[in-house]
Structure 1
Amino acid sequence: MNKAFKIIEDNIEEADFLGSVEENEIIEAENRLKLQFPESYKQFIKHYGLGDIFGEEIYGLGVEPLGIPSVIWITELLRKEMELPKDYLVIYNSGVNNEYHAIDCNPNENFGSVISFTEGISFKEQEINMEFSSFGEFFLKLLENNN
């Protein structure tokens, strides 16, 4: 995460982040969604809350869960609309082919990994693959590809 944070700070004029979020708001979100967020994602939320850089928007906390970019709102919406399993936290939309990315929050060997899936197709009908081993890896790659 330190490398990702350095890219943000070095390009702060390209960034639009909400700002830090308190620990109690993170705990409330975890309780509402019945998930435990991985540490790398918590670090992002604690530092930046949510926002975008280089036109890439990362969902997070710090706003009412009434729409994008609330991680709570989008996760609950896709749970209803496409039967997204309760173990996933939706963090990003690539803007291409309705592709979303989500963190696997199931406390198993893949805890914290990031998957991609397509909105509009039942989750059960999709072949889901792990794209990144952690939010930190996902976020750093996203920043490096756009920097």
Structure 2
Amino acid sequence: MMSAIEASERLVELVRGNDDIANHADGCDAAMIAAAEHDLGVTFPPSYRRVIEEFGTWDIAGEEFLGVYQTPAMGQKLLGSVAETLDACSQYGMPSDLIVVMFDGMGGLIVLDSSQVDSEGEYPVLVWNPGVADRQSMERPGDDFGSFALALCQRAVTRWRESG
């Protein structure tokens, strides 16, 4: 079985190998990642950190990941996962130990649950909806970010290529 970090490495290869249907930023340096983790009060799991280091933010075949990035218009403000997590916590009461990594397209947020750390330092992937407090009732689409994101992106690329 592939580790979460190996899955992230394969995801990086998948994005780079499909540049006609993928977009990404320039990645994050250690200082930006440290600032993001400081702002959120949690550390990123290794598989998420790896892809953020490489791309910052990215999309492929219609699957969009928030990542961490800045824009000239917003200056030093950290966008993507940081801004969306802080907004969800303040506006909707999302627990502060969840990290938003995607929108599910149905009003929910795909999050990493930093309160459940496995032996590799990875967090499970959950679907959080406003008002849901019981984590046991949340959908769990993945055991770690790397494996979840790779599987999602592989399916999206296959569908895209088969439909084209």
TM-score in terms of structure 1 length? 0.86
Is the 8 Å Cα contact of residues 83 and 123 (structure 1) preserved in structure 2?
A: no
Mapped partners of 2:44, 2:93: distance in 1: 20
CA deviation vs aligned residue, 1:11-68 (integer Å, no higher than 9, x gap): 011111011210110011101110011010100110000021111110111215x699
Bigger radius of gyration: 2
Mapped partners of 2:140, 2:84: distance in 1: 20
**Does residue 116 of structure 1 match 2:140?**
no
Mapped partners of 2:63, 2:138: distance in 1: 22
Q: Segments of 4+ in structure 1 off by > 6 A?
A: none
**Does residue 131 of structure 1 match 2:141?**
yes
Higher RCO (CA 8 Å, separation ≥ 6 residues): 2
- 2:99 corresponds in structure 1 to 89
* 1:117 shift after superposition: 2.1
Is the 8 Å Cα contact of residues 50 and 69 (structure 1) preserved in structure 2?
A: no
Which residue type is aligned with residue 32 of structure 2?
E
TM-score in terms of structure 2 length? 0.78
- 2:156 corresponds in structure 1 to 146
2:108 aligns with one of 71, 86, 99: 99
Mapped partners of 1:111, 1:47: distance in 2: 18
Is the 8 Å Cα contact of residues 83 and 124 (structure 1) preserved in structure 2?
A: no
Tell me the number of residue pairs that the alignment of Structure 1 and Structure 2 aligns: 143
Change beyond 3 A, Cα 1:69–1:144: farther
Over aligned residue pairs, what C-alpha RMSD do you find? 2.2
- The correspondence of residues 1-147 of structure 1 with structure 2, limited to 5 A, is 1-63=8-70, 70-95=80-105, 97-106=106-115, 108-109=117-118, 111-118=122-129, 121-124=130-133, 127-147=137-157
* 1:94 shift after superposition: 2.3
